[in-house]
Amino acid sequence: MSIEVLIVDDDELVRIGLRAIIDAQPDLRVVGEAADGIEVPSLVARHRPQVVLMDVRMPGIDGIQATRRLLAAADPPRVLVVTTFANDEYVYDALRAGATGFLLKRARPAEVVEAVRVVARGESLLFPAAIRRLVGAYGRQGVDGLRAARLTEREAEVLRLMAAGLSNPEIAARLVVGVETVKTHVGNVLAKLGVRDRTQAVIAAYESGFVVPAG
Amino acid sequence: MSIEVLIVDDDELVRIGLRAIIDAQPDLRVVGEAADGIEVPSLVARHRPQVVLMDVRMPGIDGIQATRRLLAAADPPRVLVVTTFANDEYVYDALRAGATGFLLKRARPAEVVEAVRVVARGESLLFPAAIRRLVGAYGRQGVDGLRAARLTEREAEVLRLMAAGLSNPEIAARLVVGVETVKTHVGNVLAKLGVRDRTQAVIAAYESGFVVPAG
DNA sequence: CGGATTCTCCCCGTCGCGGGGGATCCGCGG
DNA sequence: CCGCGGATCCCCCGCGACGGGGAGAATCCG
């Protein structure tokens, strides 16, 4: 049985391109297209795709809202957010909305199909480029005025300790705060990085260069 | 209150050196020394040190056995195994016996005191050099006849999937085996790497070069 | 033929993790 | 002034992770 995909993008050219790439694969199949977020719920209900390729910027209901609504329903599909720029301001919102991963429009066809297969398996798609942007600025000591990093200082500190292998109680002891506080920060970090658990957060930290192997 | 340390090594020169390094720190204090594993239990019972610096190779009761006995008691101290070579064959056994970390005899004083402080805090000491040895040979495709790696092929495979962020059910699905089997492998990997949870295992995988950031 | 190793599967229990709420306090800026 | 983001703490709950057992089957080797 093939992986069924729904394409949501207001640009017809993009839809055609994605459809061509996906339908060229024997194990993937495009079951529908939408040009607006408003059509998405009904299409998903009808076709029950495993994966939804969702554009972020669309007139009317944008990809963020559409994603949020989709995931509120029972047994939702995986949402793979499609964006033009890795530094899109909406990237963070999409993660919070529950998107499983990202896909740049300039990604090569092989990357597109692989991304679809990965999320269809139910695995998170850690996207170094996007994550690096989120964490950005911090990695190499750069606390420059940018604040481009969506992680707050506290969250970045917690992530570092997570990447050092500390448990929540240990982090709490180190920072001299309550475990509940640590849990909140950890939860925020997971949401912002778009990952499922602390292990994936640590992987993201390494892959993004946020922490570097001592070797 | 300072961190109390017990030194166990059959070589007096080593004991003197370690004592000098440790007693030079205001927050550390050597409460006793032993030249043989046989004396350890009574010394620990009397002085209740937080940390025991334990040589592996000793006449009579070696460090492995002594560690095993120590940790069988209630409220045991942390054991920091001291070894001359990172590739000591006993490294693995010491991990299984419950040692919290490793220390090379050629470590610089600053490293020694830091290691003591870390284990005293109750945190595991991930020792790249030692872990690299354990995982060794595999990292770069080298399935050479050595089998020096204490990880079996299956365990190495499971570690790779862990380092890819997969959960146990996901790994089971990927390998087409039961979740119980995966749990066994994961447990073995944790024991062999001397780490507490999968997050630390992934950290060890990165730090040892077993997996390399894609960048 | 043992014995060792590896891989496989299972039961049990505990506990930390993560998700869902909500709440307070602060400082900054409109 | 009030809104908002950040940091702090609290509750409940479900599930997965982990430890410690045991146990069967296949393989290889002395």
What are the structural domains of chain B? 3-125 (3.40.50.2300), 136-207 (1.10.10.10)
How many residues comprise chain B? 215
Distance measured from the CA of protein residue A179 to the C1' of nucleotide C15, in angstroms: 14
3-state secondary structure of B71: helix
The distance from CA B74 to its chain's CA centroid, rounded to whole angstroms, is 20
What integer pLDDT is reported at residue B26 of this predicted model?
86
Q: Where do runs of H (alpha helix) occur along chain A?
A: 12-23, 40-47, 63-72, 91-97, 109-120, 128-135, 153-162, 168-175, 179-193, 198-207
A128 pLDDT band (50/70/90 cuts)? Answer: very low
Nearest-CA distance B117 → chain A (Å): 13
Q: Please provide the DSSP assignment of A130-190 as one string.
A: HHHHHHGGGTTS---TT---SS-HHHHHHHHHHTTT--HHHHHHHHTS-HHHHHHHHHHHH
A4 pLDDT band (50/70/90 cuts)? Answer: very high
Number of CB atoms found within 10 A of residue B194's CB: 28
Within 8 A of B119 by CB-CB distance, chain A residues are none
Contact between B202 and A199 using a beta-carbon 8 Å cutoff: yes
Share of chain B above pLDDT 70, in %: 71
What integer pLDDT is reported at residue A195 of this predicted model?
78
Rg of chain B (C-alpha set): 18
Residues B121-146, mean pLDDT to the nearest whole number: 41
Q: What is the mean pLDDT of chain A?
A: 76
Q: How far is CA A23 from CA A26, A168, B12, B191, in A?
A: 7, 45, 73, 46
Task: Give yes or no for A175 touching B (CB within 8 A).
Answer: no
What integer pLDDT is reported at residue A133 of this predicted model?
47
**Which are the contacts of A181, defined by CB distance < 8 A and separation ≥ 6?**
A172, A175
| Closest nucleotide to B176, Cα to C1' | C8
Contact between A195 and B165 using a beta-carbon 8 Å cutoff: yes
What integer pLDDT is reported at residue B210 of this predicted model?
79
**Which are the contacts of B114, defined by CB distance < 8 A and separation ≥ 6?**
none
Distance, in Å, from the CA atom of B214 to the CA atom of B165, rounded to the nearest integer, reads 14
The distance from CA B1 to its chain's CA centroid, rounded to whole angstroms, is 26
pLDDT in tens, B45-96: 899 999 999 887 787 777 877 887 887 776 778 888 887 654 444 555 565 5
What integer pLDDT is reported at residue B144 of this predicted model?
26
pLDDT at B199 over 90: yes
**Which are the contacts of B137, defined by CB distance < 8 A and separation ≥ 6?**
B143, B144, B146, B147, B148, B149
**Which are the contacts of A179, defined by CB distance < 8 A and separation ≥ 6?**
A168, A169, A172
Q: Of A146, A210, A158, nearest to A184 (Cα)?
A: A158
Share of chain B above pLDDT 90, in %: 18
Contact between B202 and A202 using a beta-carbon 8 Å cutoff: yes
Distance, in Å, from the CA atom of A59 to the CA atom of A36, rounded to the nearest integer, reads 7
Cβ-count burial B44-64 (b if 16+ within 10 Å, e if not): beeeebbbbbbbbbbeebbbb
Q: How far apart are the first and last CA of chain A?
A: 44
> Residue A3 corresponds to which tokens in the numbers above?
């992986």
Residue B89 or residue B201, greater confidence: B201
A81 pLDDT band (50/70/90 cuts)? Answer: confident
pLDDT at A46 over 60: yes
Q: How far is CA A164 from CA A157, A172, A199, B199, in A?
A: 11, 14, 11, 9
Task: Give yes or no for B162 touching A (CB within 8 A).
Answer: yes
Pairing state of beta strands A28-34 and A3-8?
parallel
pLDDT in tens, A153-201: 888 889 988 988 888 988 898 888 999 999 999 998 887 777 788 998 8
What integer pLDDT is reported at residue B138 of this predicted model?
31
Distance measured from the CA of protein residue B208 to the C1' of nucleotide C6, in angstroms: 24
Q: How far is CA A67 from CA A11, A32, A40, in A?
A: 18, 16, 9
3-state secondary structure of A92: helix
Number of CB atoms found within 10 A of residue B75's CB: 5
Residue the block writes with tokens 């997570």: A162
